[in-house]
Amino acid sequence: MNLRNTIEKMVKQGASDLHLKVGIPPVLRIDGDLKAMKEEPLTGDDLRKTAASLMTREQQDIFVRDKEIDFAIGISGIARFRVNVYLQRGSIAVAMRVIPHVHKTIEELNLPDILKELSAKPRGIVLATGTTGSGKSTTLAAMIDYINEQFHKHIITIEDPIEYLFKDKESIISQREVGTDTKSFGNALRHILRQDPDVIFIGEIRDVETMDIALKAADTGHMVFSTLHTLNASETINRIISFYPPYQQQHIRVLMATTLVGVVSLRLLPLANQDGRYPAVEIMVSTPTIREYLLDPVKTLLIPQAIEEGAQYSMTSFDQSIMELYKNKMIDLNTAIENATNPDEFRLKIKGIESTSDRSWEGY
C-alpha cells in the first residue's frame, strides 16, 4: 500500500477518517458513512510498515508497551492528522482523522453567533459536547481563533495530541502536548496558573482531577474551554456532578452556578439534497434561571425546559435546532426524527399538535 496516495485520495474525496485493518481495503468515513476504497485488501505486513512509518522510535516503544497510542502528524502538502494505532485480534490497525490546516470561522462552520459572545467572556468555563466526530474540537478551535483575532490574551492549550495548530495574531498561544511537553493533563494543569494564562483550553475532561482544576481555574478568574463526551446540556451537568462523591456534590453545584458560562452540544446531520452535513446545535447559556436550577437537584430537571424557553438569551434545544433545519428543507423528515431528543413529541410538533401553554415553540 502506498500510504501517501491513499491519504491524497482520502482528502480529495472529503473524508473525515481513514481506517486501515488487515483483510479489507482502506475504508473512508464520508459524511458520517463508511465506504471501502477500491484497493486491494491490506495484509499484516502492510499495516506493520504503515504503522512504523507513522511513528517515531519512542512512539513505537510506547505502542509495544501499551498496545495502543494516540498522536498527531503533519504530512507535507496534504494536511495534518490525528492518528490512533491499536491492536485488534493480534494484528495492527490504524485510524486517522483529518485536521485541516486552515481553521474555519464560526460563520463558516454554520454555528450561531452566540458562540462569539461566549468566547468574549472574561472568565468562566465553556464546554463543547457531543459524540465522537460531532465537531467539538473544530468548534472550540473556531472559538479560540476568534479570541486570537479579537483580543490581547495569553492562551494556553493542553492537548493529547495537539490537533489544530494556531499562529499568534492579536493573542499569543502556547500549545502543550501531553507526553511531549508535559507528563499528563493533571501535571500540566497543576502548574498552569503559574504561566500567566488568560484563556485555558483543555483538549478533553476525562477524570475528576481535570474537572476539578478546570472549575477552580474558572473560579479564579480565567476563561476555560474544554470538551466532554455527553449528548446534551442536561447530561453534561449530570456527568460533572457524578464525578464527585455525594458529600461534595452541593459544593460542585455552587461552583458550576458561579463559573459555567455555557454548554454547546453538537450533532452533524446529513443534508437532504446534497452531500455534506450541517450542525444541529443545542445552546445553554448561564442565566439567573439556569444558575438557580443548577443549585437545586430537583430544579435541575427543569433545565431542558428553560433552554427551550430561553430564545431571548439565544438558547435553543436540539429539537428546536433540528426543527429549524427541517422547516428550511435542509434535512429530511427521517433524519430529523432519528436525531430528535424526543422523537414522539417531535412528530406531534410537526403535525401542529401542541399544548396551549407551550410557548417555547412559537417561532417554529
Which tens digits make up the pLDDT trace of 161-182? 888 999 999 999 999 998 889 9
Taking alpha carbons only, the member of 181, 229, 228, 174 closest to residue 200 is 174
For strands 223-228 and 260-270, give the pairing.
unpaired
**CATH code 3.40.50.300 region(s) in the chain:** 114-351
What are residue 199's DSSP bridge partners? 155, 223
What is the CATH T-level fold of the domain 114-351, as seen in this structure? Rossmann fold (3.40.50)
Q: What is the pLDDT along the chain (364 residues), one digit of tens a residue?
A: 789 999 999 999 999 999 999 999 999 999 889 999 999 999 999 999 999 999 999 999 999 999 999 999 988 888 889 999 999 999 999 999 998 877 899 999 999 999 999 999 999 999 999 998 899 999 999 999 999 999 999 999 999 888 899 999 999 999 999 888 998 888 898 889 889 999 999 999 988 988 998 998 999 999 999 999 999 999 999 999 999 999 999 999 999 999 999 999 999 999 998 888 999 999 999 999 999 999 999 999 999 999 999 999 999 999 999 999 999 999 999 999 999 988 988 888 888 765 545 556 666 6
Identify the residue whose cell numbers are 457531543. Answer: 130
Query: What pLDDT is attached to residue 79?
Result: 85
Q: Which fold has domain 3-99?
A: Beta-Lactamase (3.30.450)
* C-alpha 269 chain-centroid distance: 15
- Give the integer Cα–Cα distance in Å for 264 and 279: 11
Q: How many CA atoms lie within 13 A of 75 on its CB side?
A: 21
pLDDT of 60: 95
Domain with CATH 3.30.450.90 in the chain: 3-99
pLDDT digits (tens, 9 = 90+) for 81-135: 999 999 999 999 999 999 887 789 999 999 999 999 999 999 999 999 999 889 9
